[in-house]
Amino acid sequence: MALEDICRFKDRHHKWFPFSSLEDTDTSLYMMDYFNLRWRGLRTSEKNSAIPLDFFTPPSANSASFCLPNHSTTVRRPFPLSHGTTTLGFIFQGGVIAAADTRASAGGLVACPAVHKITPIHSHLVVTSSGSGADCMLWERILTREIRLYQLRHRRRLSIRGTAKLLSFMLHPFKGTEVCVALTLCGWDKESGPKLIYVCSDGARLQGDIFSVGSGSPYAYGVLDGGLKWSLSKDEAISLAREAVFRATHRDAYSGNNVDLFHITAQGWSQRKREDLKEEYYRDMEKRSKDRRGKIKRE
C-alpha cells in the first residue's frame, strides 16, 4: 500500500502488541518499533536535497539493551535552560475544558510569545503540552500518526484510555534521559464520556477530574480548587479556566502573553478565540479600583 511505503513499514522490524493491554478487545495493534536502535547509515532523499528520512533516537542510560558500546556519549547543553508554562484541564457537567498560556521561555528569555500549547489530535481529543517544546511537538506528531493509522486499520478511533496507555508505552524507554514531555489528554469517548489523563516522559499515567501542569500550576490550582464544581455552566467553566490561567501568568514569570481555551463535548472540540492576558489584567485592575471607590463611599 502507498501508506505503508510512505511510513516505511517494510524497512523496519515490527512488533505485535496484544491490543488487550491497551483496551478490552481481542484485536491486536500493529506497531512500528520505534526503539530499534541499530546503527546504520542515515537515509536521505535524493529528490529533496538530501533531507534526512530517519530520526536518530538517543540510547537510554537506564537500559543495557539500549546502550551500545562507544555510542553512549550525548551532547549536553553548555548551561541549563529552565522553562515554564501553565496548562490546565478539568471535567464538569458540560464536558472538558483545556486551557494554556502561549509563552515559550528559555531561562530568562521569552523565546516565543505566541506558541500553541494545546494540540488537537482528532475531532474528540486535544493534548496540552508542558516541558521541552521540541520534545512535545515530536511526540504529539507521533501520537497523531499512530491514532490515524489505527483508525485506518480498524475503522474506529482508539479510546482515550488506550491512547494514553499507548503514549505511556512509547515514552517509558526514555525514562532517565533528557526527554522532557508532560502531556494531558483531554477528550470525549463515545462509550464512557469525558476523560482527562496525564502522561509524562517517565511513562507515568494518571487519570483524574482536574490537572494543572507547569511552573504556574500551583497558582492555577489555587483558583480551580476554590471555584470548580460539577454543576458549572459552560460560561462559568470558561470564565474559571481563564481566571486560573490569568492568575498563574500574573505570578509566574515563565508564563504569560495570551490564553488558548478548548471545550470538548460529545460533538467534538471547539476553540475559543485567543485572548490577550494584558487586557484581562487591565480589566481586573479597573474592577478593583471600582470596588475600592465603592467601599470608600459606603464608609
Catalytic annotation, residues: 85
Chain-centre distance for alpha carbon 162: 16
193 forms beta bridges with 189
Residue 224 β-bridge partners: none
Q: Which residue has the cell 475503522?
A: 155
The number of beta carbons lying within 10 Å of the beta carbon of residue 112 is 13
Element (H or E) spanning 278, and its range? helix 277-298
> Do β-strands 104-106 and 109-112 pair in parallel, antiparallel, or remain unpaired?
antiparallel
54 phi/psi in degrees, rounded to 5: -115, 150
- What is the C-alpha to C-alpha distance for residues 287 and 54, in angstroms, rounded to an integer? 55
Q: What's the CA gap between 62 and 43, in Å, rounded?
A: 28
Q: CA gyration radius for the chain? A: 22
